[in-house]
Amino acid sequence: MAPGAIFEEPNVAENFNDHRDGLALEATSDAIDNVNVLKAAVKVKQGTATQEEKDIYAQSAFDSEKDKTQFRQYEEACDRVKNFYREQHEKQTVAYNLRARNHFHGKTRAEMTIWEAMEKLNTLIDESDPDTSLSQIDHLLQSAEAIRRDGKPRWFQLVGLIHDLGKLLFFYDAQGQWDVVGDTFPVGCAFDKRIIYPDTFKNNPDYNDEIYSTEHGIYVPGCGLDNVMLSWGHDEYLYHIMKDQSTIPDEGLAMIRYHSFYPWHKENAYRWMMNEKDHKMLDAVRAFNPYDLYSKSDDIPKVEDLKEYYLGIIDEYIGKDKKIKW
């Protein structure tokens, strides 16, 4: 989908075109009036679109509500988290990433609806996360509910609901949790100091590689994040699936693909990679982040009370009964 397409109103535009064609044939004053009404309608719709844009980027309720210093305290984190990142930082190499992508494109792992996937994922407890030991369905609903409370668009709520579903990988091709969860970072160029636990890359075979250890490595400045290999895991996996099997707008797809890329969206690292599109997408990813992170201390949602509502949203952009090819 073209960037910005979410804000277009195809039905209004189509009606307008029908009328314009009619007008060319008849050119009655009635037709002219109708066209003017339609033109006004198009304007109002565009006004609504701008409002939607404001809604996406307006501050979240969390901005004043939460003590943010309580989250992502990696220095104080338990050994489970530290060991997780040591392993991940040693094993995410260019060679592994090429293999993982090949694998991914080579087959379908399962066929399930979105809701079935949420239920399946529920047994996974994320070893990389210092902030929650809740099940994944609780985390997904907490994120979606926070987005909904703030009155954000329905596709944004959907992104909250599904953003971590890529962790399903754990039950299929994964070698452990290290290639599924945790923050992400580019491979193929030097590991930035702003990645958490930056010293744990020393035993990664790419760390001393002649090319991969240089600042830009295999990339050129301005190449755009779409052309960068981010460490393989749940973001990248779900992005590819939703890009092909949903109508989620580009901003939503970027939220899915980059939500774990904290070195970029939080620490401002790797800015040299960005192209014009990435600047727009960065705003969207940043708008999403508080809902992912700070909803972790909210009340635990009641799954059964919320199911109907979210099935309605899933249906709009994906299909509630559609068996997704995972």
Ligand X SMILES: O[C@H]1[C@H](O)[C@@H](O)[C@H](O)[C@@H](O)[C@H]1O
> 273-292 mask for Fe ion (x: CB under 5 A)?
-------------------x
Smallest gap from residue 111 Cβ to ligand X (A): 24
Structure tokens at 250: 């580009």
Binding interface with ligand X (CB under 6 A)? 126, 128-129, 164, 181-183, 259-260, 262
Residue carrying the six token digits 């755009």: 224
Smallest gap from residue 82 Cβ to Fe ion (A): 19
Return d(Cα 230, Cα 166) in angstroms, integer.
Answer: 15
Nearer to ligand X, 184 or 246 (CB): 184
- The footprint of Fe ion on residues 287-326 (CB under 5 A) is 292
Smallest gap from residue 40 Cβ to ligand X (A): 44
Nearer to ligand X, 6 or 121 (CB): 121
Measured on CA atoms in the order 278, 60, 231, 103, is the torsion positive or negative?
negative
145 makes contact with Fe ion (CB under 5 A): no
Using left for φ > 0, alpha for ψ between -120 and 50, and beta otherwise, residue 71 falls in beta
138 makes contact with Fe ion (CB under 5 A): no
Return d(Cα 241, Cα 237) in angstroms, integer.
Answer: 7
Return d(Cα 316, Cα 119) in angstroms, integer.
Answer: 20
Beta strands 111-112 and 324-325 are antiparallel
Q: DSSP letter for 191, please.
A: P
164 makes contact with Fe ion (CB under 5 A): yes
Q: Say which entry of Fe ion, ligand X, none residue 251 contacts (CB below 5 to 8 A, set by partner kind).
A: none
Is the CB of residue 299 less than 8 Å from the CB of residue 274? no
Strands (E), the chain: 111-112, 324-325
Smallest gap from residue 262 Cβ to ligand X (A): 6
Q: Say which entry of ligand X, Fe ion, none residue 182 contacts (CB below 5 to 8 A, set by partner kind).
A: ligand X
Taking every pair of Cα atoms in the chain, the longest distance, rounded to a whole number of angstroms, is 78
Q: Is 42 helix (H, G, I), strand (E, B) or coil?
A: helix
Structure tokens at 182: 């945790």
Which one of the spans 106-114, 158-166, 207-215, 301-309 is the region binding Fe ion (CB under 5 A)? 158-166
Is the CB of residue 271 less than 8 Å from the CB of residue 225? no
> 71-110 mask for Fe ion (x: CB under 5 A)?
----------------------------------------
Which one of the spans 18-26, 156-164, 224-232, 238-246 is the region binding Fe ion (CB under 5 A)? 156-164
Smallest gap from residue 261 Cβ to ligand X (A): 8
C-alpha R_g of the chain = 22
**Beta bridge pairs of residue 325:** 111
Q: Say which entry of ligand X, Fe ion, none residue 236 contacts (CB below 5 to 8 A, set by partner kind).
A: none
Nearer to ligand X, 126 or 250 (CB): 126
Return d(Cα 133, Cα 114) in angstroms, integer.
Answer: 22
Nearer to ligand X, 56 or 293 (CB): 293
Nearer to Fe ion, 206 or 292 (CB): 292
Nearer to Fe ion, 179 or 292 (CB): 292
Positions touching Fe ion (CB under 5 A) are: 164, 292
